[in-house]
């Protein structure tokens, strides 16, 4: 029998499961998953590159993080108008109650969001519909590259972690290193531990640190290659903030790339065991945090089995 491409198997799986999970949203999400990947430019605060923001703004790119407070305010104004309209039409009915709860949730989220946004992280993206490519990163006089190209959504877990000055931070599944670099851009943490079980991926992490971070800052980062599930046996209960960005089905890669695709038949068992691995890593991340510490769990998958179910 002819071998079915792994990408087709992945897409069939997504069509079957995500169409039920996302309903009417799935067709547009599917199109986004299959279209060309769009990158953001994470500015490197360690490089002498003050001209870069102006250069990117001339290309019509904007810092999506600094724009977020305005979008929150626009959402709140829109929600208030919808609430008023609902109140006129339905009195004090259930629709109004739901809207008030929605507004309350948003109001509660705003301070945390603003705390994250007040950090030093800046990431430039082109507007929706603009697929302009960024130029390759360039070195400054000391050889540090001026920005790092990454999927801008990958910054959201880092922002959610909201690193504060002198925090001890653990990035439990750190390689290839984009989120680790973003954590360092906050310029505030007391110490950063970056761990990844894969030695080859850890080498990529070292390369990124050497290309973007000066030696005196690299010295505050400890890079290790332990099995993250055993981290509490190494140094448990000591970190203020822990990022657990777990291995997952990596949906965009699975739907578009044959190379190293987790939907290949040889990797069926590995794929089926992912939620268990993710749960074990999350448990290790929780045990690595000190009492009262904070843990962010993240994936690059839409699967409820890998997200909500693991957290529950």
Q: Is-contact 39 148, C-beta < 8 A?
A: no
Spatial CB neighbours of 86, under 8 Å, sequence gap ≥ 6:
95, 96, 99
Q: In angstroms, rounded to a whole number, what is the distance separating the alpha carbons of residues 22 and 32?
A: 14
Name the DSSP class of 47: S
Residues 6+ apart with CB under 8 A from 156: 298
Catalytic-labelled residue, pool 123, 248, 300, 309? 300
Strands of the sheet containing 62-63, edge to edge, are 62-63, 123-125, 40-43, 147-150
Residue 227, annotated ligand binder?
Answer: yes
Question: Is 120 a known ligand-binding residue?
Answer: no
The conformation of residue 122, written as its DSSP 8-state character, comes to -
176 known ligand binder? yes
For residue 245, say whether it is annotated as part of any ligand binding site.
yes
Q: Do residues 249 and 261 lie in contact, with contact meaning Cβ atoms separated by under 8 Å?
A: no
- CB contact set of 260 (below 8 Å; sequence gap of 6+): 253
Measure the CA–CA gap between 172 and 284, rounded to whole angstroms.
9
Q: Is 241 annotated as a binding residue?
A: no
Q: Is 47 annotated as a binding residue?
A: no
Q: How far is CA 176 from CA 77, 82, 225, 245, in A?
A: 40, 43, 12, 11
- The reply, when asked if residue 141 is annotated as ligand binding, is no
Distance of alpha carbon 164 from alpha carbon 136, whole angstroms = 31
Helix (H, G, I), strand (E, B) or coil at 166: coil
Say how far apart CA 134 and CA 64 lie, in whole Å.
Answer: 15
Whether 300 is catalytic is yes
Annotated ligand binding at 41? The verdict is no
What amino acid positions are annotated as catalytic residues?
Answer: 300
Binding site as annotated, residues for S-adenosyl-L-methionine: 173-179, 196, 227, 245
Binding site as annotated, residues: 173-179, 196, 227, 245
């Amino acid at each position: 029998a002819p071998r079915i491409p792994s990408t087709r198997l992945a897409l069939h799986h997504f069509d079957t499961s995500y169409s039920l999970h996302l309903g009417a949203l799935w067709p547009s999400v599917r199109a986004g998953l299959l279209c060309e990947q769009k990158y953001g430019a994470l500015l490197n605060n360690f490089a002498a590159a003050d001209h870069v923001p102006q250069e990117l703004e001339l290309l019509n790119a904007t810092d999506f993080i600094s724009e977020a407070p305005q979008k929150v305010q626009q959402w709140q104004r829109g929600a208030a108008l919808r609430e008023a309209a609902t109140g006129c039409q339905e009195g004090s009915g259930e629709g109004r109650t739901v809207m008030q709860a929605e507004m309350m949730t948003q109001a509660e989220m705003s301070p945390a969001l603003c705390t994250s946004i007040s950090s030093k992280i800046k990431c430039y993206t082109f507007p929706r519909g603009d697929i302009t490519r960024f130029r390759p990163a360039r070195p400054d006089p000391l050889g540090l590259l001026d920005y790092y190209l990454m999927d801008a959504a990958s910054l959201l877990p880092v922002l959610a972690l909201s690193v504060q000055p002198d925090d001890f931070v653990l990035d439990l599944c750190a390689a290839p290193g984009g989120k680790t670099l973003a954590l360092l851009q906050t310029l505030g943490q007391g110490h950063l531990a970056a761990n990844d079980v894969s030695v080859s991926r850890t080498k990529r992490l070292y390369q990124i640190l050497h290309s973007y971070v000066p030696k005196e800052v690299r010295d505050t980062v400890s890079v290790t290659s332990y099995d993250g599930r055993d981290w509490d046996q190494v140094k448990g209960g000591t970190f203020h903030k822990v990022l657990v960005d777990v291995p997952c089905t990596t949906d965009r890669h699975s739907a578009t790339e044959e190379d190293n695709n987790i939907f290949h038949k040889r990797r069926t068992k590995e794929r089926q065991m992912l939620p268990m691995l993710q749960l074990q890593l999350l448990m290790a991340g929780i045990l690595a945090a000190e009492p009262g510490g904070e843990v962010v769990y993240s994936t690059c998958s839409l699967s409820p089995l890998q997200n909500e179910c693991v957290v529950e």
